[in-house]
Structure 1
């Protein structure tokens, strides 16, 4: 690579900004699967004649595939760069949507969603978040937030569009169109991501320990071994997203049960995720100022408040308000984990470790989506499902608070900027 190219391809450069814009587009297209399946849940339930828990199974398997795909694709990105996982993901997403349209039963539909759409979506989220964290230093938190906002931008854009096509042409024809568009768009945009992160960033020590406790502290994040520290983050991520899944996965079905119709539910989901974009950007700015751990704890506390607000209200207008509140409060949680990993773990392992932690958040979404449907089937209402989500949220808060206290005790202060 020439000297001019090396100068252009540096952290915080104009090239890094252009790359961030392309990343946002890929994230918006490639993340549509996790929201589309929520929109078609009532149609799937009716078409296949299954109970609510069974109708939630496609989302559950999709999120499992999403999570496992993030881990596998993250390791592939660490070795070969992010472009190849993205191209593989484009093929998987395109094939997955088209193949799903031919499913004759809930089991076949669920398996295709998990294996193809889930794996393909996994190539998008965690690898791109990790890759973005390596291209920015001065405003890493904001850059990661912009990247991750593509996931919620997908949630804001796709549900109302898909709902209209489902009403006009049915969910099967809609899935064929999605497969063709998403597969081709992802593949084309992926070609812009050929350049790998700068070597000087990959060789640098974690920001949280460099210049403080010494390079050796990189081997003991929060005073734990690398494996234990990552394990705690994985449990925390799973817990927060079990709670997060209740409104996100079931708001359309909830509105249908209340008599407001699936279209109103899709609008609430779109509003929730549009507000999540704002939340992610604000949380990114907070990460740059107060660090990932404090941002995680604050977001977890606010998400718990929003979940409590779903309990006393079931009118259409109040649900719109609470949905917006929930989006504003919880949107920054998942990107915070990427920042925490970048602050405390070796940069050369960023994609794999971010993929593992974010994979666990997606597994939490899968578990929460299925669990909420099962609680509904057992109780006949979503009230108990919201209570279940609150309990998982409290587990997440306790882990985040414990890690924050340990870090303050070990280093005197939590990293305020990355």
Structure 2
């Protein structure tokens, strides 16, 4: 029996709950490499280095793409070595990436720093944190994975004001040193001491010891990455991730500009962002609970319909009612996709090669975030508004939602 199994079995609570908390913390601590965290540094960094925001944005997109390219290899590495050792190394690398950012002196160093941050946070810590929760929850995976993914939403609320405070107190370089220490003192020891592989190897049942869900089979599928890539469901889930990240990133990046086009001033637009986040949290948990009882692909039309509505509403209307409907739809689209993605791949393809499968799928989601804003930038430059980009986004979302009715569940390999 694995190291520490005897002690783990004697704990007063099932170790699955501890894994869930650790996975949530891992998602939370990805924020130094998430857009919400990096964006706070943009102005002070560009001003001190004497570079334009445009160049910094291009470097960020290039760094994002460079950082996610190793994701399939990282996923296979997690499958081979297990979540404990890989999460420990990844957390240490994220701390080093933050420390490196404090030493950036040139444009090239900044690009390398962005690639390090995005790679260790998105291709690394985010991937392994979701992976470990999926290992420990099977029939309750939907709600558990959804709850763990809320760490990112919580981090998006906590880290920006924290980073802003650190910059005001110690400058942006000092703030990055503080983030490096924070990562080293929180998720690094948690990864080394808490993360574990499958519960069965410790003599425990999955799903935190909760009774099986009525009507659900206990048999799990087992797909290799190659077999998963040959299924329509894999490409459906990847398309949903790509579109949600592409369109959602573009909408949020241009939120104030889009709202101004509908007649909403900055103060009211800020309120809409808060409402959006609240809806996202609620929808994530609600969709996660549904994933435990329904096939993930059956929930895709709802997610894509919400994304289509979010895209089309500001293109065809204006005013406070349209703006509130828009914010609610963006939150619903993000929240539902987050839950579908968090549990869907494991539901369809099993746990045996989950790291490799999720690593490949993450290429699509993160590349969507990198490329998504470009059509919106082209639309505003060429026409003076976002109408064409919004209508095109709505049409693609509806097409993806319709595809969910055609795609069939994968047959056992």
Scaled by the length of structure 1, the TM-score of the pair is 0.77
Conservation of the 8 A alpha-carbon contact between 2:307 and 2:333: yes
Q: CA RMSD in A?
A: 4.2
What is aligned with 1:414? Answer: none
**Paired residue for 2:372, among 340, 346, 368?**
368
What is aligned with 1:87? Answer: 88
What is aligned with 1:195? Answer: 196
What is aligned with 2:210? Answer: none
Distance 2:131 2:15 in 1: 17
Conservation of the 8 A alpha-carbon contact between 1:277 and 1:331: yes
Distance 2:42 2:393 in 1: 20
Query: Which string of whole-angstrom CA distances, capped at 9 and with x for unpartnered residues, describes residues 336-360 of structure 1?
Result: 1343322221420112212221332
Closer, same or farther: CA 26–319 of 1 in aligned 2, 3 Å = same
What is aligned with 1:226? Answer: 228
| Residue 98, structure 1, aligned to residue 102, structure 2 | no
Distance 1:14 1:322 in 2: 41
Closer, same or farther: CA 377–233 of 1 in aligned 2, 3 Å = same
What is aligned with 1:22? Answer: 22
Conservation of the 8 A alpha-carbon contact between 1:163 and 1:266: no
**Structure 1 residue 113, shift from structure 2 partner:** 0.9
**Structure 1 residue 187, shift from structure 2 partner:** 0.8
What is aligned with 1:305? Answer: 309
What is aligned with 1:50? Answer: 52
What is aligned with 1:416? Answer: none
Conservation of the 8 A alpha-carbon contact between 1:67 and 1:359: yes
Closer, same or farther: CA 285–306 of 1 in aligned 2, 3 Å = same
Structure 2: tracts of 5 or more residues without a match = 207-212
Larger mean CA deviation between 172-181 and 248-257 belongs to: 248-257
**Paired residue for 1:345, among 331, 345, 349?**
349
Closer, same or farther: CA 160–307 of 1 in aligned 2, 3 Å = farther
SS at match of 1:190: helix
Distance 2:272 2:58 in 1: 22
Query: Which string of whole-angstrom CA distances, capped at 9 and with x for unpartnered residues, describes residues 223-252 of structure 1?
Result: x95322234543443233211211234437
Distance 1:107 1:307 in 2: 36
Distance 2:51 2:33 in 1: 22
What is aligned with 1:142? Answer: 143
Larger mean CA deviation between 285-294 and 154-163 belongs to: 154-163
Alignment of 1:85-164 (within 5 A): 85-164=86-165
Conservation of the 8 A alpha-carbon contact between 2:135 and 2:351: yes
Query: Which string of whole-angstrom CA distances, capped at 9 and with x for unpartnered residues, describes residues 275-299 of structure 1?
Result: 3222211110111122211122211
- Number of residues of Structure 1 aligned to a counterpart in Structure 2: 395
Closer, same or farther: CA 271–321 of 1 in aligned 2, 3 Å = same
Distance 1:218 1:195 in 2: 20
| Residue 71, structure 1, aligned to residue 72, structure 2 | yes
Query: Which string of whole-angstrom CA distances, capped at 9 and with x for unpartnered residues, describes residues 139-189 of structure 1?
Result: 110001011111222122223333454566654443333233234322122
What is aligned with 2:279? Answer: 275
Closer, same or farther: CA 235–321 of 1 in aligned 2, 3 Å = closer
**Structure 1 residue 63, shift from structure 2 partner:** 3.7
**Structure 1 residue 197, shift from structure 2 partner:** 0.7
